[in-house]
């Protein structure tokens, strides 16, 4: 990375904040980079929050501040018009609040916009969105994008992105815009000194930054009402399944990357549906913690009643079954699994979710896991209501 110390005399965001700047051209990084030991490892400390209250502070001159762990109190001279996100969870939060999609995300491929296909007025296009990850993340690219806010945990940058140190984050915060995200989709050792936000806690922070707390409240109400209605129709807890959550190594897998149902935002819909982890009590560790894989031997020993596959594309019901399930049924070992024999192998989508993607993932999972209760063509959440909230009709 080039030494930019000679440019420090340029105006900083303390002098002005540029909004609406031009957008530059234009297996899981968060899984791969986000949880690997390949980061710089040179600065593992976290920032000490300067304020613990959750409310937004506003002054008469239209400047305001928002408290977001681990940074603490973050000040804004005006509402940002352009933004950057660490992952699709934060993107979906902003989009759900009616914001245009961000200028950039760490990996655009991890932003699964097919969840928007039936939301009136919401495009699935990512045409103008930049992937920050280009064999690393460069300060030059962040300077060129010139966003008004970075919803990226500074400790994510320091611990997981090669060649980034605290001084680099501080420099970009000063010259461009603050880094004020919270990495909440997966657990990390460097995250122990500050809280993980739930999905709606994080969304509330985004709403405070964009000054759209009224839309946030409407989204939360829609979510609570939708989840309550779904949960009221679920079978008793004793009749709910245990799932084996896996990422297959290929479309003809001989090994899998297992995931354990943790308490982070990635697993919210599973917890809301009351399912349990088929790997509970085993020595199988989550891929997010040890990057390990398993073959069919431990799967046969545990024999999950339902298998859910993380995949990198959108699958129709028939295409998924003709690809994955057909292979497993013809496999000498895989065909012995109860889930394969019963046809209970389903796509799980990806790990990231904000308010819209969460409702979409919850709806799909409810139909997969409880087909006797939820019809395949049934709509379990109000698409038009999401569109209305996005447009400010609340």
Is 325 in the same domain as 264? yes
Is 233 in the same domain as 194? no
pLDDT at 235 over 60: yes
For residue 288, the model assigns a pLDDT of: 76
Segment 320-341, tens digit of pLDDT: 999 999 999 999 999 999 999 9
Confidence grade of residue 378 (pLDDT, cut at 50, 70, 90): very high
Is 169 in the same domain as 277? no
In 3D, which of 227, 257, 162, 239 has the Cα closest to residue 358?
A: 227
For residue 350, the model assigns a pLDDT of: 87
pLDDT at 248 over 70: yes
For residue 60, the model assigns a pLDDT of: 52
- Count of structural domains within the chain: 2
Is 148 in the same domain as 270? no
Q: Is residue 385 part of a domain?
A: yes
Is 204 in the same domain as 245? no
- The model carries a pTM of 0.84
pLDDT at 191 over 90: yes
Is 49 in the same domain as 178? yes
CATH number, domain of 66, equals 3.40.50.1980
pLDDT at 14 over 60: no
Lowest mean pLDDT among 160-169, 294-303, 312-321, 334-343: 312-321
Say if CB 279 and CB 243 are below 8 A apart. no
Lowest mean pLDDT among 27-31, 72-76, 304-308: 27-31
3-state secondary structure of 111: coil
Q: Which percentage of the chain shows pLDDT scores above 90?
A: 79
List alpha helices for the chain, DSSP H: 29-35, 88-96, 139-145, 154-160, 166-175, 199-209, 213-231, 268-272, 287-290, 296-302, 317-320, 326-330, 338-341, 355-369, 383-390
Q: Is residue 216 part of a domain?
A: no
**Spatial separation of the C-alpha atoms in residues 149 and 74, rounded to whole Å:** 10
For residue 212, the model assigns a pLDDT of: 98
- Choosing from 178, 211, 244, the residue where a domain stops is 211
Q: Is residue 219 part of a domain?
A: no
Residue carrying structure tokens 């040179």: 42
For residue 15, the model assigns a pLDDT of: 36
Q: What is the average pLDDT value for the chain, to the nearest integer?
A: 87
Q: Is-cis flag, bond preceding 66, omega within 30?
A: no
Q: Averaged over 252-258, what is the pLDDT?
A: 97
Q: Is residue 218 part of a domain?
A: no
61 against 364, higher pLDDT: 364
Q: Which domain holds residue 326?
A: 224-390
Is 192 in the same domain as 109? yes
Is 98 in the same domain as 138? yes
Is 294 in the same domain as 326? yes
Is 136 in the same domain as 50? yes
Q: Is residue 230 part of a domain?
A: yes
DSSP state of 69: T
35 against 172, higher pLDDT: 172
State both tokens at 388. Answer: 């209305």
- Choosing from 190, 211, 232, the residue where a domain stops is 211
Is 334 in the same domain as 251? yes
56 against 256, higher pLDDT: 256
pLDDT at 281 over 70: yes
Is 162 in the same domain as 61? yes
- Choosing from 151, 176, 211, the residue where a domain stops is 211
């Amino acid at each position: 990375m080039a030494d930019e110390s000679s440019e420090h005399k340029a105006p900083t965001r303390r002098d002005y904040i540029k909004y609406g700047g031009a957008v530059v051209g234009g297996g899981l990084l968060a899984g791969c980079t986000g949880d690997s030991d390949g980061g710089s490892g040179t600065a593992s400390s976290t920032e000490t929050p300067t304020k613990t209250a959750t409310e937004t502070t506003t002054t008469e001159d239209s400047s305001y501040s928002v408290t977001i762990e681990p940074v603490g109190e973050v000040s804004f001279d005006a509402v940002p018009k352009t933004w950057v996100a660490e992952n699709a969870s934060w993107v979906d939060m902003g989009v759900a609040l009616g914001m245009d999609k961000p200028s950039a995300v760490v990996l655009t491929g991890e932003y699964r916009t097919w969840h928007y296909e039936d939301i009136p007025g919401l495009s699935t296009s990512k045409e103008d969105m930049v992937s920050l990850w280009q064999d690393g993340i460069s300060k030059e690219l962040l300077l060129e994008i010139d966003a008004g806010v970075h919803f990226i945990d500074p400790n994510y940058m320091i611990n997981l992105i090669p060649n980034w140190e605290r001084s680099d984050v501080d420099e970009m915060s000063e010259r461009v815009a603050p880094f004020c995200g919270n990495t909440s989709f997966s657990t990390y050792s460097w995250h122990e000194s500050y809280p993980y936000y739930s999905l709606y806690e994080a969304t509330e922070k985004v709403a405070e930054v964009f000054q759209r707390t009224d839309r946030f409240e409407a989204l939360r109400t829609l979510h609570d009402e939708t989840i309550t209605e779904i949960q009221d129709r679920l079978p008793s807890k004793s009749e709910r399944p245990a799932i084996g959550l896996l990422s297959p190594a290929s479309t003809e897998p001989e090994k899998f990357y297992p995931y354990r149902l943790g308490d982070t935002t990635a697993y919210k819909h599973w917890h809301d549906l009351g399912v349990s982890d088929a790997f509970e009590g085993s020595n199988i560790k989550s891929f997010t913690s040890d990057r390990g894989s398993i073959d069919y031997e431990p799967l046969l020993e545990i024999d999950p009643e339902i298998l859910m596959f993380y995949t990198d594309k959108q699958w129709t019901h028939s295409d998924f079954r003709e690809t994955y399930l057909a292979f497993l049924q013809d496999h000498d070992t895989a065909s012995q699994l109860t889930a394969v024999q019963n046809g209970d192998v389903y796509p799980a989508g990806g790990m990231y979710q904000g308010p819209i993607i969460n409702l979409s993932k919850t709806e799909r999972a409810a139909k997969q896991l409880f087909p006797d209760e939820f019809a395949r063509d049934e709509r379990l959440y109000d698409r038009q209501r999401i569109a209305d909230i996005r447009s400010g009709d609340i």
